[in-house]
């Protein structure tokens, strides 16, 4: 049997960037706080974490791409909140954010993590920003830590 690679929640002193969008900031501030809380509680020091704020979810992929291209980070975590309104606008924004982050992720050598809440109602957004369904920002940061360690394990063979 060959090797099994698995990541621990260990950043080994590496730097992490978190991109948040201000649109629906009632929720995105909670998602950002959740992400930072997760990183702090797993031993990532404040000076190892950079944050960037963009106007809306649509702008997250370009900021994530720029952060990746600096070469300074072991992972980029993206947090945002897209909530359905009276028009199909929500679907277009959600679709572009999802595609954009996936594209940045696949074109980069580091994990780019999707911590975007897409909600049909305010209740769904509340549930995912620190209440019944947890905090998607916290979850995304945890995923970043696991993926950083997994990528390092694979690279080291």
Which residues lie near ligand INI (CB under 6 A)?
Answer: 21, 23-24, 55-59, 80-83, 85, 89-90, 93
Q: Smallest distance from the beta carbon of 151 to ligand INI, in angstroms?
A: 28
| 49-54: strand order across its sheet | 49-54, 16-21, 75-83, 112-119
Active-site annotation holds for 40:
no
Q: Look up residue 89 and give its two tokens.
A: 């606008």
Bridge partners of residue 114, in order along the sequence? 78
Between residues 85 and 157, which has the closer beta carbon with respect to ligand INI? 85
Between residues 58 and 138, which has the closer beta carbon with respect to ligand INI? 58
Given a contact cutoff of 8 angstroms between Cβ atoms, the answer to whether 18 and 75 are in contact is no
Q: Smallest distance from the beta carbon of 118 to ligand INI, in angstroms?
A: 9
CA distance 10 to 26: 30
Residue from 40, 42, 89, 91 carrying the catalytic annotation: 89
Between residues 9 and 90, which has the closer beta carbon with respect to ligand INI? 90
CA distance 4 to 61: 32
Q: Find where tokens 């620190």 sit.
A: 130
Q: Find where tokens 């975590």 sit.
A: 77
Q: Smallest distance from the beta carbon of 78 to ligand INI, in angstroms?
A: 11
Q: Which residue is nearest to ligand INI (CB)?
A: 56
Q: Which of the residues are catalytic?
A: 89
């Amino acid at each position: 049997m060959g090797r099994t690679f698995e990541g621990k929640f260990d950043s080994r002193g590496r730097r992490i960037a978190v991109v948040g969008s201000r649109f629906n900031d009632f929720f995105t501030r909670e998602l950002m706080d959740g992400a930072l809380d997760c990183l702090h509680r797993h031993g990532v020091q404040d000076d190892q974490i950079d944050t960037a704020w963009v106007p809306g979810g649509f702008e997250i992929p370009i900021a994530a791409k720029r952060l990746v291209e600096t070469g300074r980070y072991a992972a980029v975590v993206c947090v945002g909140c897209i909530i359905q309104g009276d028009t199909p606008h929500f679907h277009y924004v959600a679709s572009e954010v999802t595609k954009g982050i996936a594209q940045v992720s696949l074109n980069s050598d580091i994990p780019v993590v999707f911590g975007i809440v897409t909600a049909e109602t305010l209740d769904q957004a509340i549930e995912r920003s620190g209440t019944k369904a947890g905090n998607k920002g916290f979850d995304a940061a945890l995923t970043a830590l696991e993926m950083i360690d997994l990528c390092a394990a694979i690279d080291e063979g």
